[in-house]
Structure formats: structure tokens, C-alpha cells
């Protein structure tokens, strides 16, 4: 396959649009599943268990990433969308008939997480294979901006949809979005996998990924920082529905809060896509973390829904600066043959704190003030900004001119909405 010469080629356009419409369905199902559990159990702790079960399979993603680096990319992507679509349709249709057993919801969340642990490493290497190297920064901003825009529409619309019709329609729409993406993926052209990748032994390839990660202080330090940040942010999604209920805005307010975070993310991402290579991504990543920390500390002091909404938008803007800039840094530091292994390893360590924090806090979820969680998340993120700035100073390679080409390892640091 000839390397792409322009950003807006057919394969990137299909991947961009397919990812965006899939993000819409995922946003609808996220709010629908949260309130399906809450309405059936009345317990924030049960919501935490459900979220944790969806996240726990991510601990296996480095093994799946090693496998993905040895396979053609299209089959895992198509199969992952087909399976996730079938699961969401199944739960949605069951919810139409009446109450869904909690065990069935937990099982569906676990299976969805398992599929995602295999799908995500495959998806990590797609974008830089579809665009010229000089357009990576624009492509990263466009991918995140469009995904967050569709998630914004899904969350705001999803809150209203769940509030009026219930969770089942949102889950069914999510299932259909995955199936549509699976139908579009055969039209995307991807380069062939090098023959050496398949010939290398599985565990030899796995160890090679670990060695590759140890080569840079950035690839060693970011996962640890993301682990701490995500562990402190993870309980927010579990506790926010209850807080919105206390403020009298309920499911619609919960959807609006997350929608404003995503609106800020989308606006920031599109702005960075427009600025392109004029942005110093290293400095921006540090200031993005600082801005996130200050926004969350202010949320700890908020007393009204209106105050929380304003700060949610600011949090999204700073999160966009952090995620896009750190993502671009890694896009320029990871060789294509290591996309699955290195990306999945970094993401696994970075996100492992989420299910662990959810499981630990679930028994206490109904008694811990959300202001305490906001405060812990803010202080942790502020400390992480200082450490990250130090790691960047230690990195001697030229991050804007390296030939160590790119992987779209999405920065795990930040609010995961």
C-alpha cells in the first residue's frame, strides 16, 4: 500500500466518521447503563461494581496487544464491533421486556470490557497508518474532537432519552452504531503487517515490548502518573448521579455535566487541530494538567449545579490540551511494529487504578462526600503536572523531529467521563 499523501483520503475519512458515530452510541449506552443499574438497585455501590467490571479486563490488554501486533488489523476491529453491538442489543431488548437481572448486566459489562481490551490495542495503530506523518497532530485533534462532539450529543440527548423513555432505546442505538461501524471497516485500506511480526514467538514479542517501554523516561513515567490520576477520578462517575439528584437536576443534569466536559474537550481538540504544528505539545501537556487540577479543586468547593456546569466546561478544555498533546508526543515516539504492545501496556497501567478505586470505594460510596473525591483528584493532578514537567526535561530526544514514528496512544490521564 502506498503511504498516504494527504490528510483527507478515503480510508481516514471512513475511519473518522465510523469512530465518531460509534462514539455517539457509546455515550448513549454509558448513561443508560448507569441509570439502569441505579433505578433497579438504588445503590451507587452497584453502579461502581458495574463500572469496575467493565474496566477490569483492561488488565489483560498487554497480552492482547502482543497478539494484535502479529495479526492483520481489520479482523479484530470488525469482530470487536460485531460482538459489542450484539451485547448492547441483547441488554437493550431485554430491558424493553422488563427488569434485567443485575447478574446479566454485570456479565454484559465484563464481556464488553473483555472485547474492548482486545479491540483497543488494534485501534491504537490505525490513525497514523492512514495519514501523512506531517498531519499527525491535526489528525489527532480531529479524531478526538469529533469523538467528543458525538459523545456530547449522546450524553445530553441520552440524559433526556433515559429520563423520558428509559434505558432500553439508548442501549439499542448503541448496538446499532457498533454494527454500522463493522459494516464500514472493510472499506478502510491498511498497510500489510511485516512478515517478521508474525514469525516472532509470542512471549519473545511480549518481552520486546517491555524492553521498548523501558527505553524512555516518558514511557516509564506517564503510566504511573496516569494510574494515580485515574484512580482519583474514577469514583466521580459513580458519585455524580447521586450528587445531581441532591441538587434537583437528576439524570438530565448528570448528562449535561458530562456533556459540558465533552463539549470543552471537543472545542479544545478542534482548536488544536486547526493550530496544527504551531503548538508546542510538551508545554501544552504540562499546562493542561495544571488547568485540570485547578478546575477540579474548584469543583470541590462548588455548591450549585450552575457552578459545576461552568467548571465542567473548563475541565474539558484543559483535558483536551492534555490528551491531544500527550497523545501526539507518543505518536512520535513509538515505532509502528510496537503499536499494540506498547500502547496497550501504557494504557493498562494507566487505567488499572480505575477499577481498583471503584471496587475499594463501592462499600463506602453512599457515605463519602463527593467534595472529598474532587479534592483528592485535584491535588493528585497538580502533583502529576510537576512530575510530568520533570520527565519532559529529562527527555533528550527531539520530540518534534524524531523518525521514531508514531502511535496514537491516547493519554489516559484525565477525566474519563
pLDDT of residue 408: 33
Q: Are 402 and 130 in contact (CB under 8 A)?
A: no
pLDDT of residue 373: 81
The number of helices, as runs of H, and strands, as runs of E, in the chain is: 17, 0
Q: Are 139 and 131 in contact (CB under 8 A)?
A: yes
Q: How many residues does the chain have?
A: 417
78-125, pLDDT tens digit by residue? 999 999 999 989 998 998 888 888 888 889 889 988 888 888 888 877
Distances (CA, A) of 248 to 40, 117, 176, 253, 350: 20, 37, 33, 8, 34
pLDDT of residue 398: 43
In the chain, what is the straight-line distance between the N-terminal and C-terminal CA atoms, in Å?
A: 37
3-state secondary structure of 59: helix
pLDDT of residue 194: 60
Sign of CA dihedral 214, 406, 191, 178: positive
Angle between helices 102-124 and 339-351 (to 10 degrees): 140
pLDDT of residue 248: 84
Q: Which residue segments constitute the domains of the chain, with CATH numbers given?
A: 7-187 (1.20.1250.20), 201-397 (1.20.1250.20)
Which residues are CB-neighbours of 91 under 8 A, at least 6 positions away? 33, 100, 104, 105, 108, 171
Within the chain, which residues score under 50 in pLDDT?
397-417
pLDDT of residue 323: 86
Q: Are 137 and 272 in contact (CB under 8 A)?
A: yes
Q: Are 205 and 338 in contact (CB under 8 A)?
A: no
Amino acid at each position: 500500500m502506498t503511504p498516504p499523501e494527504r490528510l483527507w483520503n478515503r480510508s481516514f475519512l471512513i475511519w473518522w466518521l465510523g469512530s465518531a458515530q460509534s462514539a455517539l452510541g457509546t455515550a448513549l449506552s454509558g448513561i443508560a447503563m448507569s441509570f439502569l443499574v441505579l433505578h433497579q438497585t438504588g445503590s451507587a455501590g452497584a453502579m461502581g461494581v458495574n463500572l469496575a467490571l467493565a474496566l477490569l479486563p483492561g488488565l489483560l490488554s498487554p497480552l492482547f496487544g502482543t497478539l494484535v501486533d502479529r495479526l492483520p488489523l481489520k479482523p479484530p476491529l470488525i469482530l470487536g464491533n460485531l460482538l459489542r453491538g450484539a451485547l448492547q442489543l441483547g441488554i437493550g431488548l431485554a430491558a424493553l421486556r422488563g427488569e434485567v437481572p443485575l447478574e446479566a448486566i454485570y456479565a454484559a459489562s465484563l464481556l464488553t470490557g473483555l472485547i474492548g481490551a482486545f479491540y483497543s490495542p488494534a485501534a491504537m495503530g490505525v490513525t497514523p497508518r492512514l495519514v501523512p506523518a506531517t498531519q499527525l497532530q491535526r489528525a489527532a485533534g480531529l479524531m478526538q474532537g469529533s469523538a467528543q462532539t458525538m459523545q456530547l450529543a449522546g450524553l445530553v440527548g441520552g440524559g433526556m432519552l433515559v429520563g423520558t423513555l428509559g434505558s432500553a432505546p439508548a442501549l439499542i442505538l448503541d448496538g446499532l452504531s457498533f454494527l454500522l461501524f463493522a459494516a464500514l471497516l472493510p472499506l478502510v485500506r491498511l498497510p500489510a503487517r511485516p512478515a517478521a511480526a508474525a514469525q516472532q514467538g509470542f512471549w519473545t514479542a511480549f518481552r520486546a515490548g517491555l524492553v521498548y517501554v523501558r527505553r524512555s523516561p516518558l514511557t516509564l513515567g506517564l503510566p504511573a502518573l496516569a494510574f494515580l490520576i485515574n484512580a482519583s477520578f474514577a469514583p466521580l462517575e459513580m458519585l455524580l448521579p447521586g450528587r445531581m439528584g441532591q441538587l434537583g437536576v437528576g439524570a438530565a443534569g448528570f448528562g449535561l455535566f458530562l456533556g459540558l466536559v465533552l463539549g470543552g474537550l471537543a472545542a479544545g481538540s478542534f482548536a488544536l487541530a486547526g493550530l496544527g504544528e504551531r503548538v508546542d505539545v510538551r508545554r501544552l501537556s504540562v499546562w493542561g494538567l495544571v488547568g485540570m487540577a485547578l478546575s477540579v479543586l474548584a469543583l470541590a468547593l462548588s455548591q450549585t449545579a450552575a457552578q459545576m456546569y461552568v467548571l465542567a466546561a473548563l475541565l474539558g478544555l484543559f483535558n483536551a490540551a492534555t490528551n491531544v498533546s500527550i497523545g501526539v508526543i507518543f505518536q512520535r515516539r513509538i515505532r509502528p511494529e510496537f503499536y499494540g504492545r506498547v500502547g496497550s501496556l501504557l494504557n493498562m497501567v494507566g487505567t488499572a487504578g480505575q477499577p481498583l478505586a471503584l471496587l475499594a470505594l463501592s462499600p463506602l460510596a453512599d457515605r463519602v462526600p463527593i467534595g472529598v473525591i474532587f479534592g483528592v483528584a485535584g491535588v493528585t493532578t497538580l502533583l502529576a503536572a510537576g512530575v510530568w514537567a520533570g520527565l519532559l526535561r529529562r527527555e533528550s530526544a527531539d520530540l518534534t523531529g524524531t523518525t521514531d514514528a508514531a502511535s496514537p496512544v491516547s493519554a489516559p490521564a484525565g477525566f474519563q467521563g
